[in-house]
Amino acid sequence: MATRSVSPGGALLRSSRLFSLPAPLPPPSNPHANTRWNSDTMTTPYPTHQVITTVSTSRKNGDWGLKRPLPLRSTTKSTVAMLRVKAIDTMDQITDYSSGADHGITLLKFQELGLPIVTRDANAAKERANLHTPDAPQKSVFEDDIDFTAIGDMKERAELIDKRWKFQGPWLAGMQNGEFQKYIEKQVRPRRAQFRMFLRQKLAEEMNADAKAKAMDAGDEEPNPIRPKDISEEQLTNYLRRLRESNSTLFQMVSQFLDLAPLKPPNVVVDNLDRQGVKVDVSSNPYAENGPPRTHPSAGLSYLRTKNYIDNHPIYGPQEQIKPVVARLVKPRRQMGGIETPKFGIAGIISDVPLGDVRSNQKFSGSKNQISVDNLEVEVPGGPKMWVLPNRANIDSEGKILLKATLPKLEVELVAKELIGEGEGIFGKEREADTVKSSEPALARRQYSKPAFSSAKGYGVR
């Protein structure tokens, strides 16, 4: 049968990148669904639809590369050209879209911070300690022993199987009782025969390994390998009884067969021993306690692998610390119900106040660079702000950004203020007196002191 020729327009549409939009992700769970904090317009923890943009000349005509032009009244109000397409063509022959500036601007602001996304530690206590330690070791989510999904030969990569971020099976600890029962009925019970064959293979491997070791000790030749079909039902039944006596071993067998997301091994006590005193391997997966991520551990926010770079100032030279950003106090320590943890907004991301003996935690402040986190000073334009130094960022299992920051050194803060025209610089009036004597330093200062895109006046502050 002869194939129909495709018109040039049809070929263009088939090869268009518009028709390769990824499928939307499942919506995140809303913890405020039954509370007064719930809102239909609130920003979700992570985006679920692809965000598209267009140039300003096409935007004025409503041209977004879609099937039909979009209304100018609703697409030109925002200062940024970002739309979230929910359906290209609905049953009513319209394009269902909404503004995508909430997550789009968050991406731009986070990229301006220059932070890599690092992995979370499998030890929860160690992870909490690292969040507030600027010099704690950090490992990028793009390392080869973590950033992979295809396990290939299990024997060669047995030590890396548990460190994956994507599994075929669910995370059982995050399932409701009804979801778990449904999973057992539809996914687990029909595979009973396959699981028995899986156990036969495991038993055959153990028997072959024992026979090979005994032959080696006795100096005999290696015996013929035992095949899974050679194992009798009685041997398989005895093997099942042994597995039921060791919960940790049975748990590992079931997890490997169903490819379940890792959990903490059950019945683990001191020194990682089970009830029978057998040493078990605690999961090394950083998501074993809270579940695997919904997307890639980087969430597409940053593709940097390290933050070990140096900012080079045009006048002061290489800087000891990277350029700080301005954080806004959004939740004070003292609330109507008592004392709570204060919260800061850094690049549109809510973060805790830096801990330790820092200027923001001192009760008595004698410097203008210090602010009080006890009360929200509404008379201050834009709210109280302070300069912070972001040092660690990772993504939790719910898709939320966990950002931690410390306070920069005073010299670094003064240099950052001088770049945007706030403050007298690191040398104060002495620097101004030096620039009067020579026109070249003054010209260099006027030329390089204002960057084209500043964290304090651009996307870095919201």
Is 89 found in the same domain as 140? no
Q: By residue range, what is the domain housing residue 152?
A: 128-272
Averaged pLDDT for residues 33-57:
79
> Domain for residue 108, yes or no?
no
Q: Is 427 helix (H, G, I), strand (E, B) or coil?
A: coil
pTM of the predicted structure, to 2 decimals: 0.71
Q: How confident is the model at residue 182 (pLDDT cuts 50, 70, 90)?
A: very high
Same domain for 65 and 143?
no
Domain-embedded: residue 56: yes
The stretch 175-185 carries a mean pLDDT of 90
Residue 168 maps to a domain: yes
- Residue after which a domain boundary falls, among 99, 119, 148: 99
Phi, psi of 311 (to 5 degrees): -80, 130
Number of domains comprising the chain: 3
- CA distances, 404 to each of 226, 327, 413 (Å): 55, 12, 18
Q: For 193-201, what is the mean pLDDT?
A: 91
Q: 354: which 2 tokens?
A: 């830096």
Are residues 444 and 338 both part of a single domain?
yes
Residues 77 and 195 in one domain: no
Q: At residue 336, does pLDDT exceed 80? A: no
Eight-state DSSP code of residue 166: -
Residue 329 maps to a domain: yes
Classify residue 294: in a domain, yes or no: no
Which residue(s) pair with 342 in the sheet?
Answer: none
Q: Does position 126 have pLDDT exceeding 60, yes or no?
A: no
Cα dihedral across residues 374, 375, 376, 381: positive or negative: negative
Query: How high does pLDDT run on average in the chain?
Result: 75
Residue 428, Ramachandran bin (φ over 0: left; ψ between -120 and 50: alpha; else beta): left
- Please write the tens of the pLDDT for every residue from 287-320: 777 788 878 888 888 898 888 888 888 888 888 8
Asked if pLDDT for residue 123 goes beyond 70, the answer is no
pLDDT at 35 > cutoff 50: yes
Is there a single domain that holds both residue 218 and residue 345? no
Backbone angles phi, psi at 396, to 5 degrees: -85, 180
Q: Are residues 208 and 321 in the same domain?
A: no
Main-chain dihedrals φ then ψ at residue 163, nearest 5 degrees: -100, 5
Is 5's pLDDT higher than 60?
yes
Looking at the structure, do residues 139 and 266 belong to the same domain, yes or no? Answer: yes
pLDDT at 367 over 50: no
- Per-residue pLDDT band at 185 (split at 50, 70, 90): very high
